[in-house]
């Protein structure tokens, strides 16, 4: 673990128990709930992928709306001009 990066879980650990944070960060002791931490990490990674996909889908929807509105405006202007 890098000394320069502080994760949100470390802040939570520090706020909950400064001594626990110190034992993990400085002394190098590992947590006893490693399995639960791995499950939580996997869940958050999956959630992050879902959020990222939904962001791209939303951007695509905005682009399609923009193109559709542009096409409608173009069609109306061309029909008015004839």
pTM above 0.75, yes or no: no
* Mean pLDDT for all residues in the chain: 89
Q: Is residue 16 pLDDT above 80, yes or no?
A: yes
Per-residue pLDDT reduced to its tens digit, 42-54 = 999 999 999 999 9
Q: Give the mean model confidence (pLDDT) for residues 18-23.
A: 88
pLDDT, position 7 = 82
User: How many CA atoms within 13 Å lie on the side-chain side of 24?
Assistant: 19
- State residue 63's pLDDT score: 98
pLDDT category, 59, cuts 50, 70, 90?
very high
Q: What angle do CA 71, 74, 80 make, to 5 degrees?
A: 140
């Amino acid at each position: 673990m890098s000394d320069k990066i502080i994760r949100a879980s470390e802040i939570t650990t520090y706020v909950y128990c400064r001594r626990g944070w110190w034992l993990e960060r400085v002394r190098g002791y590992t947590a006893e709930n490693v399995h639960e931490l791995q499950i939580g990490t996997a869940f958050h990674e999956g959630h992050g992928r879902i959020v990222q996909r939904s962001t791209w889908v939303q951007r695509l929807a905005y682009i399609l709306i923009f193109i559709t509105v542009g096409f409608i405006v173009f069609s109306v202007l061309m029909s008015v001009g004839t």
